[in-house]
Amino acid sequence: MIRLEKRPNPSRLWTALTPVLAVVLTMLVGGIMFALLGKPPLEAIRTIFWDPLFHPQFAGYSRPQLLVKAGPLILIAIGLSVGFRAGIWNIGAEGQYIMGAVCGAAVGLAFYPADTWLLFPLMAIAGALGGWAWAMIPAFLKTRFGTNEILVSLMLVYVAENILASASAGWLRNPEGMGFPGSRNFKQWASVYNDELVINTGMHWGVVAAFIAVIAAYVLMARHIQGFNIRLTGEAPRAARFSGVSPARIIFLCLGISGALAGMAGLFEVTGPAGQISIDFNSGYGFTAIIVAFLGRLNPFGILLAGLLMALTYIGGELAQLMLGLPGASIQLFQGMLLFFLLATDVFTNYRVRLTGREVA
């Protein structure tokens, strides 16, 4: 008989090995899925993971896009990981991302057509505050009424999507857009356009903020007393309470950090790659960042690598759809396999497999 036996301590080997094993299993099972769809599996895997970086025809465009796609994923995932380490499950980062974009864009458009360098930092602050305020709703309800932050934060995503649609078609709509939904295009407004800082690299202010967030999160979690309190709350809640750590304060802190970072990611996206508030502005970054956070083992530098990998699947997936005719749903399923296999193989971090004889009654 096969049974799982709990380890005395989590295995360091499996902790490091499971992300790699999850990627390999995703490639194998994804290859089978592509074959069932009638596409060459090896060519599909190569198109997703190799061609965007090294194919001479596509690398010139795809390499800068790697940082463009990875920036918001890393920024949001860093915020989520802080809460996850404390056992606070913010699943609504997509809503905070949307509200950050809407609030930041609204502040900028209120000053249109001002031409001052102060406007973009003001919009970034507004975006962070928008995401923070949206995250405070589940934080307040959890601390005041004991609600489940998973359900509340997730339901608020759909509220944010309706606010986005209302803003796009109503109070933020471009008055010169001939009635079409969507705000003014920030790419045509030099004061607020989040353009590349270094040509042909994809490096804009959102990417810079993501790198700063990685370093700041490492310092917080590894070198600061609040990071110790966050880890203690997640690993031993009773011990945290006995040591004087306030659960409510940790909830507000963690949800506030994740909401603010998600809001900033939305602002950097709307003033950069997206260019405007539109009905379909949100692209699922808030949900994909959950996969990035776990694939990076909730470690800031692991999240940095996981964000780059997930961005590669975005770019490679778009390329595979174009070159091989793969359906978009299969690429989304392929990305979801990463989290599935990561959670499946993560069992071996805390448990070992034992073969035992059948017990005799």
- Whether residue 360 is predicted with pLDDT greater than 90 in this model: the reply is no
pLDDT tier, 226 (very low <50, low <70, confident <90, very high otherwise): very high
Q: Is the pLDDT of residue 358 over 70?
A: no
Please provide the average confidence, as pLDDT, over all residues in the chain: 92
Alpha carbon of 248 to those of 25, 132, 148, 252, 253: distances in Å? 40, 16, 14, 6, 9
Place of tokens 């499946």: 344
For residue 290, what are the contacts with CB-CB under 8 A and spacing of at least 6?
77, 80, 91, 93, 339
**Structure letter (DSSP) for residue 142:** H
Q: Which helix (H) or strand (E) holds 72?
A: helix 59-85
pLDDT number for residue 159: 97
The answer to whether the beta carbons of residues 65 and 202 sit under 8 Å apart is yes
Return the closest-CA partner of residue 25 out of 349, 351, 354, 334.
334
- What token pair was written down for 336? 């979801």
Query: For residue range 56-99, what is the model confidence (pLDDT) as tens digits?
Result: 888 888 888 999 999 999 999 999 999 999 999 999 999 999 99
- pLDDT tens, residue by residue, 268-324: 999 999 999 999 888 889 999 999 999 999 999 999 999 999 999 999 999 999 999
Question: What is the rounded distance in angstroms from the CA atom of residue 217 to the CA atom of residue 351?
Answer: 29
Q: What values do phi and psi take at 39, rounded to 5?
A: -110, 150
- Across residues 32-54, what is the average pLDDT? 93
The arithmetic mean of pLDDT across residues 253-281, rounded, is: 94
Instruction: Answer yes or no: is pLDDT of 361 > 70.
Output: no
User: Which amino acid would we find at residue 243?
Assistant: S
What pTM did the predictor assign? 0.93
Question: Does 356 have pLDDT greater than 80?
Answer: no
Evaluate if residue 192 carries a pLDDT over 70.
Answer: yes
Provide the CA 184 distance to its chain's centre, in angstroms: 26
Averaged pLDDT for residues 312-339 = 91
Side chain identity at 33, as an amino acid letter? M
Mean pLDDT of the 103-126 span: 93
- Write the CA distances from 306 to 23, 78, 98, 313, integer angstroms: 10, 11, 23, 11
Please give the C-alpha separations between residue 358 and each of 124, 179, 351, 352, 354, in angstroms, as whole numbers. 63, 73, 20, 18, 12
Query: What is the arithmetic mean of pLDDT over 247-255?
Result: 96
Q: Of 17-31, 175-189, 198-212, 255-269, which one has max mean pLDDT?
A: 255-269
CA–CA distance, 264 with 289 (Å, rounded to integer): 14
